[in-house]
Amino acid sequence: MITRIVIPQLFENMEEATIGVWLKAEGSAVAPGDVLCELITEKSTFELEAEAEGVLLRRSADEKSIVPVGFIIGVVGELDDELPDIEAENRLAMGNRQSAENSDESALRVPIVAKIEAPQVKPSSGGRVRATPAARRLAKALNKDLEIVAAAHPGKVLSEDDVRNF
């Protein structure tokens, strides 16, 4: 079964994201919760996690690419799965972005066909701590335990400032 990796709308006025570092290569096995890449927005940096198990069959956006919400940046499936025509879907997402930029009213925006879901925030009690890559690097450099920092900020994706201020 093919699963499209779509740029989610992480906050209300988010329109685009920059692909940071890809942490999985084409052909790599992935499981739900595996970090695929970093997404950089104007507000923060996030880790995009896999939602399905399989093989990363294709990456359709390079590092440092700026892509709109709804853009398909990759495909997960089985090695014998036929790849879908994601170029057509991505042209639609890019067209929707340009139409929205040229429109004076947001009501005229054409809806994006791809399913968009915001990532679920996992509790820090025994689970994986949600933190930006920069916050993880800083915590490691300062020898701070992210689980302890996360306990002070329940339900929040930890930032560098959270680590510094703890």
Pairing state of beta strands 54-59 and 72-77? antiparallel
Tokens at 53, concatenated: 């198990």
Between the CA of residue 125 and those of 7, 35, 149, 161, 164, what are the distances in Å? 27, 19, 12, 21, 21
CATH class of 3-108: mainly beta
Of 16-20, 87-91, 134-138, least confident by mean pLDDT is: 87-91
Specify the higher pLDDT residue, 77 or 130.
77
Q: What is the pLDDT of residue 9?
A: 87
CA distance 130 to 44: 13
Specify the higher pLDDT residue, 138 or 166.
138
Helices and strands, number each (H, E), in the chain: 4, 8
Average of per-residue pLDDT values in the chain: 80
pLDDT band per the 50, 70, 90 thresholds, residue 124: very low
Q: Is the pLDDT assigned to residue 32 strictly greater than 70?
A: yes
Domain ranges of the chain: 3-108, 133-165
> Residues 135-156: what's their mean pLDDT?
83
pTM value > 0.75: no
- Give the three-class secondary structure for 1: coil
pLDDT band per the 50, 70, 90 thresholds, residue 99: low
> Residues 30-54: what's their mean pLDDT?
91
162 Cβ contact partners less than 8 Å away, ≥ 6 residues apart: 135, 149, 152, 153, 156
